[in-house]
Amino acid sequence: MRPWIVALVPTLLLSLGAAAAVTADPKNGKKLHDQRCLACHVRQMGGDGSQIYTRPEHLIKSLDALRQRIGFCVSQTNTSWFPEEQEDVAAYLNQQFYKFKVAK
C-alpha cells in the first residue's frame, strides 16, 4: 500500500461527518494526547509542549486542519488509534487551545 494512502485513510474517516465531533470525549483525548503526543512536542519545543499549539506561527487554522494534522501525526508515529480516538484528541485540543466552532 502506498504511504500517502495510509496517511489519507484516517483523515477521510474523520471527515465523514461532524457527528463524531459532537460525540467526542475530550477527557479521553487528553489522556491519549498526554500518553502519545506530549513527549514529542516537548522535544520539538524544547520544554513546554503546549507551545506547539499556542505559537504565533501555528499551522492549524480550522477544525478540519486539526483533524488532518492528527491523522498525519498518527501515521508518522505508527500510533494505533481508531478514528474515534483521533476525534477525542481533536476535541481535547480544540477545547483546550483552538476554540474552533463545532457544527452540531
pLDDT tens string for the chain (104 positions)?
Answer: 555 555 555 555 545 444 555 699 999 999 999 999 999 999 999 999 999 999 998 889 999 999 999 999 999 999 999 999 999 999 999 999 999 998 77
- Number of domains composing the chain: 1
* DSSP state for residue 37 in the 8-state scheme: T
Cell numbers for 2: 502506498
Domain of residue 41, residue span: 3-98
Cell numbers for 100: 474552533
Say if 82 falls within a structural domain: yes
Say if 103 falls within a structural domain: no
Cell numbers for 84: 474515534
Q: Is the pTM of this model over 0.85?
A: no
